[in-house]
Amino acid sequence: MEVYLDNSATTKAYDEVAKMVSDIMCNHYGNPSSLHTMGVDAENIIKEAKQNIAKIWKVSEKEVFFTSGGTESDNLALRGAAFANKRAGRHIISSKIEHPAIINTCKYLEEEGFNITYLSVNSYGEIDLEELKNSLRDDTILVSIMHVNNEIGTIEPIEKIGEIVKFFNPKILFHVDDVQGFGKVSLNLKKAEVDLCSISSHKIHGPKGVGVLYIKNGTKINPIVFGGEQQGNIRSGTENVHGIAGIGLASKLIYNDLQEKQNKMFNLSLKLIKAIKSIPDTNIFGNIGEADFNNSIYEDGAYGFAPHIISAGFKDIRAEVLLHSLEEFGIYVSSGSACASNHPHVSSVLSSINAKREYLEATIRFSLSEFTTEEEIDYTISKLNEIVPRLRKYKAR
């Protein structure tokens, strides 16, 4: 039996998306910048994808820009905004538990003379809103906070953050990395006063190598890729037409019956969490304290954690050992973020939430999708109950 529980690393593409991508690569392969019919055809494909995403975000099509993925979208948002607005100030605020695409871009900007404040988080992974208020300065030009944490699934209070930032100074840009939230947890960009928002195709059953950056109309931002001035000179390079079509369709499909999909993942997650908690010397990270284990309805905003991510620590078992032990039974999970490194490392997220030392290298992430079944979760639970005691017994020898 194959059980894929690493959907926060990447997802299986929708069948409809795979068919569309193949058809476009083989039959609609014109360059969208070309003036002939095949070029116009390709351009129309891009327009339709923009329409799909703009409709979900409730924004203008002109505010939707395509990139090579979430990492490039994050880089364009931070680097582009920082250099475009450096005359107004060089102070940027982010958090200690951001994705490496944000953390490492901030480190680069520090080397370029920008001052970065990294907000701390509590044991659940939530930023301190008072610390945010106290960190805002007259020279602050950008705040970047993720919506859903990619390792522990904690949901940050994006609307409250946007309110605080814009109340202090409406000119401060607010960027949200929504790679793990898009299609899983709703976010109203306008209500949260978001200026920039990043998403990634392969997290929502679309093709790899495609991302989107929402850039609110009027936002001052510099390009970081130079070339033929495509996409209004914001992101040069011949557009990845088949990939763009893929994320456009995947976005549309993932938001169909979203509540039903949330409920399914939520209940399967609760079942797995309950089973893991019954195993001695385990710990679940993230803001699950308010979870009603008898509830079948997932309400956006009612819970502080996403319905699809579970971070579980197993004392006295190294994460990679448990990961490969599960793999032997066809169960695929990850240790921390798949984007951080291919090598074992101590999670900066777990360190930032002050996880106990015995869990720092003993935590794995289960991440579900709309395709995860109860049979798969039951199978995973049975194998955990079999493997964990055996590995602990082996270590005790």
- Domains of the chain, by residue range, sit at 3-10+257-396, 15-254
The chain-wide mean pLDDT, for the chain, equals 94
Q: Residue 337: which pLDDT band, with cuts at 50, 70 and 90? A: low
Question: Does pLDDT of 397 surpass 90?
Answer: no
Given 26, 106, 197, 339, the catalytic residue: 339
Element (H, E) at 213: strand 211-215
Average pLDDT, integer, range 348-362: 94
Tokens describing residue 179: 């790679």
Does the annotation count 339 as an active-site position? yes
Q: Same CATH topology for 3-10+257-396 and 15-254?
A: no
Q: Which residues, 6 or more positions from 242, have their beta carbon under 8 angstroms from its beta carbon? A: 20, 21, 24, 25, 207
- The bridge status of strand 140-146 relative to strand 173-177 is parallel
The pLDDT of residue 292:
60
CA 280 to mean position of chain CA atoms: 31
Q: How confident is the model at residue 288 (pLDDT cuts 50, 70, 90)?
A: confident
Inter-residue contact 152 to 349 (CB < 8 Å): yes
In the CATH scheme, what is the code of domain 15-254?
3.40.640.10
Summarize pLDDT for 56-109 with one digit per residue, the tens: 999 999 999 999 999 999 999 999 999 999 999 999 999 999 999 999 999 999
pLDDT in tens, 160-215: 999 999 999 999 999 999 999 999 999 999 999 999 999 999 999 999 999 999 99
CA–CA distances in Å: residue 324 to residues 281, 311, 337, 341: 20, 17, 16, 17
Residue 252 sits at φ, ψ, to 5 deg, of -65, -45
- Looking at domain 3-10+257-396, its CATH class is alpha beta
Say whether pLDDT at 342 is over 60. Answer: no
